[in-house]
Structure 1
Amino acid sequence: MKKRPVWNVGSQKEAAFDLQKGSFEVKIELAEMLKGGVVMDVTTTEEAKIAEDAGAVAVLVANKLSSDLRSDGGISRMTSPELIEKIQEAVSIPVIAKCRIGHFVEAKILEALFVDFIDESEILTPADEDHYIDKHQFRIPFVSGCRDLNEALRRIAEGAVLIRTRGEAGSGNISEAVRHLRTMRRQIKSLAFLDTMELMNEARKMGAPYRLLKQVADTGKLPVPQFAAGGIATPADAALMMCLGAESVFVGSVIFSSKNPSILAKSIVKAVANCYNPETLAEISMGRFEDVRGKEVGILDSDESF
């Protein structure tokens, strides 16, 4: 018997899931549950259990770690259904699975497997770069990546309820993720100085709905949670992203390619919870740099860059 999403408990959540299409507001509430924590990439049930024991708020199931995708090349497709079901049985935290950009059939398969979230991932080989999935047609909430406010608003308009940066996953280098977060902050702040007609013109140039841009201008933030992903390799990296405005972080291959995944995973979780406490960060960073490798983003080959 297939396992329903772990957030799907209680009469209200049961009723929401049984709808033909989950409401956008309910999906956002589900994404809000992941705030303030760490989502970890895993490729085996053993890794998923380590992530759960370390305090991860969710696991992102992948066929291969991002660093392996870089080195192996080839075509990358949706997460294996067999692997998803094994990890669903192994852990009690939410399970996120990846599908290719534009591949709505892969997304339907993942929905049939009752995953908790679907990540329309740029790390996988795109199926249709010009037509992203209409996420409103699904009851399962979607995660999408972005590099700036323009891209974020387009993905939200399509139905994404959790936005993450599109840093260079698997590189161990957070420079792109930092750039994306700072770009978003700068663009959001600039909206406060625009009048109605200027906002309308900005929405037209962005290709984003005016109502979403107006909401961001009024509130000073995105209408959905904003997480950081790509190149986060140390407790200090995770803390930096939180200090820059991320509400949670995704951590990929660095944990399970390290010498002691359990200790590094726990250290990153603790760093997120103590991101404004340098004394605690210093303590948990002891010995966490010796086996963390990375690659300069500027020297990545074109076929290595995500």
Structure 2
Amino acid sequence: VVLDPVADGVQQLGRRQVITDCRVFLHPGERLETGVRDAYTLAEDEAVVLSAIEAFTDASGAEPVHRQPGDLWLVRGPLEYIPHASVRVVKDKAGAERRKRIVLAEGEGVYIRNTQTGEIRAQIGGAVMLEATEELWEKDLPKVVEEKLQQQGESVTQYMEKHSDGKPKRDKTRVVRYAIPHNAVTQVYDYKKRTQRTLFGPDAVMLGPDEQFTVLSLSGSDWDPKQPTVCFPKKTGKIKALYMFLGPATLSDVLEVETCDHARLQLQLSYDWYFDVQHGNSAQADECFSVPDFVGDCCSLIASRIRASVAGVSFDDFHKHSSSLVQAAV
């Protein structure tokens, strides 16, 4: 491509000329745009995006098309293509000039954004070639969600407590896919439609462009592997999770009580709990997410009942009938 070409002895400033299949010497004042380049040899799954620099009639297709400045269109393979002097090849965000067909397996997808309308859609499965006015869109997620997505497949203890540093980062253009474990439920909220959907495990949820996970922030306690039977007091916001485990499970807590004769004792208690939710009943599952921190509320409520019951008895009575007093209070 020669810039400012000379025609009939007159230099045409600001114009471009494409010269192919010949030997040429540059006239004074002429210069090459990017040196000598090869023609675009496009495979069946490749294409290039072109943009019109000036108005011209495009005769490269089956029928002539009048192009206006700024028009975008796609030239698909298989063919060998040499750009017209009135067009330029549009590069993507990564600097690539060629577009390749994206092949998606079942359960895979990409986010696609229309650069003219701003509409974003999720393409799930199949093969897709982006149009001239389309581009891959990156979906940002909160930091805690990113950590939990990278911890999929690990144990429950690692999922709740471990931080995933040093692992490869997620491809933000790919549809977010999360595997819900057995006997668990996940809630997803669509901020554009203002609707929510609840999914039961074992299943896989794929987020739409405007959907986000409902992140659970539950009370928890530290755990010392050297002292596995020792329980520590609950701390607010200790556990972050993307799903609600329906149980049955065991809940442990440490609380201080005081008898009527002012004897202070520290109790370590364990409770069995479960959510009475029928599998597939979204209305019942939504009630589980209506309480921000069921662990903290449960521990606080039971601890207050036990303290009130112990405060009315002496130390000797509590020592003799501690089990029955605690069970009656609960």
> TM-score, length-normalised on structure 1?
0.19
Larger Rg: 2
In terms of fraction of residues, the more strand-rich structure is 2
Structure with the larger RCO, 1 or 2 (CA within 8 Å, 6+ apart): 1
> TM-score, length-normalised on structure 2?
0.18
